[in-house]
Amino acid sequence: MINKLDQLRISIPIRQMFAKCYLIEQNRICFLYTRNEFSYEYETAVGRNHEVPLSGLFVVAFCNLPRLVMQVYLFCTGLEMLCFCNLRPDVLNNQINVAFVALGLCPDQQDIKQLRTRYPFANFNCVFGNDLLGKVLDCKVAMWYHDRDLSTLCDGTTVIFKYENKVIRLNADRVSLDIFKRTMRLKTNIKTLKPAGGFISFLAKHQ
């Protein structure tokens, strides 16, 4: 069995760049997520199996001075992070200025709060899925970034966003951060990055 990086055809320069951030053992690639000082979880991938923690932080930064980081890229998984960098190597042109963070399948507000404190001068970029769940997460992260909690419900066809007394309803097929920002009148510089060609994720584009 070949390891996941070979299977995904991740380029040698990207592997070298991220080599210290993951572990490969018996073809199993492993990313370490920290929840707090004492608690860890692993994302593992081997063959077609891929296990991802629900939440936690897997951070890759090439500079030890967080205040110099100007761009933070947020992902759900470490594999997605590698695929994104492989497809968009331009984001690594100035390595001192960037940080990559995998947040797990279902991130929480505290993670974003912690990242905002750690990288006070950075712009945040959401690289979540190009589907309803990814787009709802974009909206949540945008609100969390501004220290606002957002509740989201789906009744099958409509997504209901609730923030304090404000309730907005968007057709599930039309949800996007852009529409959400306009409807909620939210001013934010958070950006989203979705793969071209209708792919659900950068990982899916690689497979």
Residues of this chain that bind another protein (CB under 8 A):
48-52, 54, 76, 105-106, 129-133, 136-137, 140, 151-157, 159, 171-173, 198-200, 204
Q: Which is nearer to another protein, 120 or 198 (CB)?
A: 198
Q: Which is nearer to another protein, 10 or 103 (CB)?
A: 103
C-beta of 100: minimal distance to another protein in Å?
19
- How long a stretch of residues is the chain? 207
C-beta of 132: minimal distance to another protein in Å?
5
Q: Which is nearer to another protein, 15 or 181 (CB)?
A: 181
Q: Which is nearer to another protein, 67 or 174 (CB)?
A: 174
Q: Which residue has 């950068």 as its token pair?
A: 202
Report the distance separating Cα 153 and Cα 155, nearest Å.
Answer: 7
Tokens for 185? 């009148």
Report the distance separating Cα 134 and Cα 199, nearest Å.
Answer: 12
Report the distance separating Cα 149 and Cα 95, nearest Å.
Answer: 32
C-beta of 147: minimal distance to another protein in Å?
19
Q: Strand 191-192 relative to strand 123-126: parallel, antiparallel, unpaired?
A: parallel
C-beta of 107: minimal distance to another protein in Å?
8
